[in-house]
Amino acid sequence: MAQEIDVSLVNVTKKFGDLVAVDNVSFDVPKGSFFSLLGPSGSGKTTILRMIAGFEVPTSGDIYIGGQRVNDVPPNKRPCNMVFQRLALFPMMNVLDNVMYGLRRRGGMSKKEMERLANDALARVGLAGLGKRRIHQLSGGQQQRVALARSLVLDPTVLLLDEPLASLDLKLRQAMKLELKRLQERLGTTFIYITHDQTVAIAMSDTIAVINKGRIEQIASPEELYRRPATHFVASFVGENNILTEGRLVRQVDDQVGEVEMGGILMQGRIGEPMKPGDKVDLFVRPEMILLQPGKHSPGILGKVSEINFDGSHSLIVVDLLESQRPLSINVKVQHTEQAPEVHVGDVVTLSWNWGAGNIFHHVPLQEA
Amino acid sequence: MLARLKRTGALWLLLLPMLLWIGLLFVLPHIKLFLLSFQDRYTGAFTLKNYATFFTSPLYRGVFIHTVEYSILTTLVTLAIAFPAAFVVTKVLSERAKALVVIAIILPYWVSELIQAFTWMVIFRETGILSYTLRALGITRHNIEFLYHNWTVMVGLVYTSLLFMVIPILNSLETLDDSLIEASYDLGGDFWSTMKEIIIPHSMPGIMVGSIMVFMLVLGNYVTVTLLGGKNSLWFTENIYNQFIVRFNQNQGAAFSVILLTFSVLFVWALLKITKQDLSEAM
Ligand SMILES: Nc1ncnc2c1ncn2[C@@H]1O[C@H](COP(=O)(O)OP(=O)(O)OP(=O)(O)O)[C@@H](O)[C@H]1O
Ligand SMILES: [Mg+2]
C-alpha cells in the first residue's frame, strides 16, 4: 500500500540575496507521521518551515500540501498551522480568545459552538478552566500549551512546530516532549517539528531529516540515523560519539566492514561512504557500544583509565590508549548493572567493539565539520 | 545605590529643577489666573459674572463649540494620516528607507510653527502658488482665495500636529512583534482582521498619547489658526487673546482660560475612561 503523503518538497531552494539558506531540498512527509528537521543553528530549518507555512516564497522548486501545489497560496489559505519559535500568543486577548481566534476568522459558527471547541482544545492540552486568564498570567509551559491549542483547534492537516520547547527548562522540556508525542499519536495529525536538539528529535520522531548549511544530509528513522549515519556530519551531530581523526583505511574486509589504522592500532568499523585503501579517514565509535574489560585481553585495545565521570545510572570512563603512537583516548559509557566491572583511575583495561559500533568516513578538517 | 538615594531623599533633589520649573511657570500663574477669573474687573470683588458672560452669550459658546469640534476633527484627520504612515514605516520599509521617511517627517519641525504657517500662506493666498497653478492649467479663470476657510486652517493644524501623532504610534508599533502579525495570518486572518484585532489594540496606548497631545495642542493653538484663518477662524484662543490684549479685560480672559483648561482636562479624562486606558499606562 502506497503511503499517503501530506507534505512534499521538490527541489526547493531559497536565497536571501547571495546567501543560499535552503539548497535544493526535497522530502516527503507521510500522513500522520512525526517528521523532524534537525540541524544546527542557521542551517535553514526555520526558512523551510516558513516556506511550508507560506511566509516565504521559494526561489525555485515546488511545495505540495495534500497533493496540491501551494507555492502561490497565501498563508491564511493553507491547511497548515504553525506554532512559532517564540509562541506569538496575542497578549491583548485572554486564553480563550487566543484559542478562538482562528475559529472566528473562519466564521460560519455560533459563538457558543466556537467556545465549546476552544474549551475542548484547552482541555486536550490540559488547560481546562484557564480560559479567562491573561497570557502573562501563565507559566512558560502553560503558554506553550495555549499555542498548541490555538493551532490544534483548527484541526489542521499539518502542524508546523518551530522549536517550541527551546525556551523551557530541562525538566519541563522532558515532560512536554513526551506529552507532545502522545498528543500527536492520539490526534493522528501530521507534525513537522524543528529542533537543533538531537535528543528531542530522536525521542519523538518517526522520521528525521538532518540538515546542514541548507542541505539535507540524511532522511531516516531515528534508529537508522543512530546506527548508520550517512555522512560525516550526521555521525558527529547525532548522538554521542567518539571521533578518532586522521587515520588511514588499511583494507576493506568486505563491502560493509573496513579496517582502519589509528596511531598504529588497527580498528574496525562500518564503511560509511565509498572509499579505497590508503584514504585518510575518521572513525566514529558509540561510547555505549564499547566493551570494557579490566586487565589485559586479546583481541582488544589496551588502555589506562584516566577519568571516571559518574552519572547515576551510567559512568563515562575516559581511557587513554597505551599502544598508540600518538595520544588517543576513547570515552566508554558503562551501564551500572550487577555484572558491571568495577574500575578505578589508573587501571589497565581492554576495549573492544563489534564493527557495527564504528563508522568510517573520509577525514574532514575540524573547522569544516 | 538607588535604594540609598531613596532612603536619604536625595532622589527628590534630582526632581527639584523640574518641580521648580513647573511650580514657577505653570502652577503659580494658573493659581493667579484662577483667582483673577473670579474677580470683578473694576472693584476686584468676588463675582461669577465672568463665567456668566460665557454661559449666556451664544457667540462665545458657539465659538467654543466650533473650536472643540474642529479640534476633534483635526485630531481624527491627523490620526488617519499618521497611523498608516507609522505602520508602513515600522512594518514595511527597510531600515534605510525607514530612516529617510522619519527624517522627512521631522524636518519641517526644524522651522518654527510661525514659518510653517507663512509657508502655507504662500501656497494658499489669492496670488499664491495653488491659485496660480490652477489658473495656469486652465482649471479656473480667476485667482481664488484659499485662505480663511475652515479647511485651510485644518490643513495647517494637521501639518503642525503630525509629528506628535506619528512618534508615539511609531514607538508602540516598534514593540509589536512581527510574529504576532504572522500568527494572525497563519490562523486565517486577513489584512483587516489583523489590523482590527492585533495591530490597533497593540498600538492603542500610542494612539491615545498621540491623540491627547494633538487635541491639546490644537485646542490651544493660536499662531496657525490666526494666520491661516484670519478674523473668521472662530478659535476660542482668539477670544482669550482679545480679552487680554485688545480689551484689557484680564478677568474675562482669565475666566475663558480656566474654562478651556478645565474642559480639556475633563475631556481627556473622560476619553481615557471610555476607552479603558490608564494614563500611566498610556504615557
Ligand atoms: N529574512 C532573511 N533575510 C536574510 N537572511 C535570512 C533571513 N531569514 C533567514 N536568513 C538566513 O538564512 C539562514 C538560515 O536561517 P534559519 O532561520 O532558517 O536558520 P535555523 O536553522 O532556523 O536556525 P536557528 O536554529 O538558529 O533558528 C541563516 O544564515 C539566516 O541568517
Ligand atoms: Mg530557527
ipTM of the predicted structure? 0.83
pTM > 0.90: yes or no: no
Which is nearest to A85 in space by CA: B171, B198, B172, B177?
B177
Residue minimizing CA distance to atom 7 of ligand 1:
A16
pLDDT(A79) > 70? yes
CA of A118, closest CA in chain B: separation in Å? Answer: 14
Ligand nearest to the CA of A39: 1
The CATH number of the structural domain formed by B49-282 is 1.10.3720.10
Please tell me the predicted confidence (pLDDT) of residue A223. 93
For residue range B43-69, list pLDDT tens digits in order. Answer: 989 999 999 999 999 999 999 999 999
- B197 near A CB under 8 A: yes
**Cα B195 to middle of ligand 2, angstroms:** 26
A82, B183: Cβ pair inside 8 Å? yes
Please tell me the predicted confidence (pLDDT) of residue B131. 86
- B183 near A CB under 8 A: yes
Whole-number Cα distances in Å, B216 to B29, B31, B68, B262, B282: 19, 20, 10, 12, 16
Cβ A143 under 6 angstroms from ligand 1: no
The domain A240-362 is placed in CATH, from the list 2.40.50.140, 3.30.70.270, 3.30.30.60, 3.40.50.300, at 2.40.50.140
Q: Which residues of A touch B177 (CB under 8 A)?
A: 86, 88
Which chain A residue has the Cα nearest residue B193? A105
8 Å CB contact between A284 and A226: no
Determine the 3-state secondary structure of A90 from DSSP.
coil
Cβ A41 under 6 angstroms from ligand 1: yes
pLDDT(B26) > 70? yes
A261 vs A323: CA distance, rounded Å: 12
Residues A63-81, mean pLDDT to the nearest whole number: 93
**Cα A45 to middle of ligand 1, angstroms:** 8
Determine the 3-state secondary structure of B264 from DSSP.
helix
**Grid coordinates representing A34?**
512525526
**Cα A198 to middle of ligand 1, angstroms:** 19
B183, A88: Cβ pair inside 8 Å? yes
B54 vs B260: CA distance, rounded Å: 11
- B276 near A CB under 8 A: no
For residue range A340-352, list pLDDT tens digits in order. Answer: 778 899 999 999 9
Please tell me the predicted confidence (pLDDT) of residue B209. 92
- B201 near A CB under 8 A: yes
CB-neighbour burial class of residue A167 (10 A; exposed 0-12, middle 13-18, buried 19+): middle
Please tell me the predicted confidence (pLDDT) of residue B280. 57
Residues B251-267, mean pLDDT to the nearest whole number: 93
B187, A81: Cβ pair inside 8 Å? yes
Looking at domain A5-228, its CATH architecture is: 3-Layer(aba) Sandwich (3.40)
Nearest Cβ partner for A90 among B188, B193, B198? B198
In chain A, the percentage of residues whose pLDDT exceeds 90 is 74
B150 vs B161: CA distance, rounded Å: 16
- Residue from A13, A25, A47, A48 whose mutation best tests the ligand 1 pocket (most atoms within 8 A of CB): A47
Nearest Cβ partner for A102 among B179, B188, B198? B188
pLDDT(B210) > 90? yes
**Cα A89 to middle of ligand 1, angstroms:** 22
For residue A350, the tally of other CB atoms under 10 A from its CB is 18
B137 vs B140: CA distance, rounded Å: 8
A105, B187: Cβ pair inside 8 Å? yes
For residue range A89-146, list pLDDT tens digits in order. Answer: 999 999 999 999 999 999 889 999 999 999 999 998 888 999 999 999 999 889 989 9
8 Å CB contact between A24 and A11: yes
Residue ranges of chain A that CATH labels 2.40.50.140: 240-362
Which chain A residue has the Cα nearest residue B203? A92
Residues A27-36, mean pLDDT to the nearest whole number: 95
pLDDT(A174) > 80? yes
Residue ranges of chain A that CATH labels 3.40.50.300: 5-228
Which is nearest to B230 in space by CA: B160, B117, B148, B115?
B148
Please tell me the predicted confidence (pLDDT) of residue B281. 54
Cβ A231 under 6 angstroms from ligand 1: no
B187, A86: Cβ pair inside 8 Å? no
pLDDT(B262) > 60? yes
Average pLDDT of the residues of chain B? 89
A106, B197: Cβ pair inside 8 Å? no
Q: Which residues of A touch B179 (CB under 8 A)?
A: 84-86, 88
**Grid coordinates representing A277?**
585503501
Cβ A19 under 6 angstroms from ligand 1: yes
A178 vs A170: CA distance, rounded Å: 13
Please tell me the predicted confidence (pLDDT) of residue A156. 92
- B193 near A CB under 8 A: yes
For residue range B134-159, list pLDDT tens digits in order. Answer: 888 888 888 888 888 888 899 999 99
Q: Which residues of B touch A88 (CB under 8 A)?
A: 177, 179-180, 182-183
B189, A101: Cβ pair inside 8 Å? yes
pLDDT(A298) > 70? yes
- Chains A & B: contacts with CB separation below 8 Å: 57
Confidence of residue A1 (pLDDT cuts 50, 70, 90): very low
B109 vs B116: CA distance, rounded Å: 8
Please tell me the predicted confidence (pLDDT) of residue A258. 94
pLDDT(B102) > 80? yes
Where are the alpha helices (H) located in chain A, listed in sequence order? 45-53, 95-106, 111-124, 140-152, 170-187, 198-204, 222-227, 232-237
**Cα A46 to middle of ligand 2, angstroms:** 4
Average pLDDT of the residues of chain A? 91
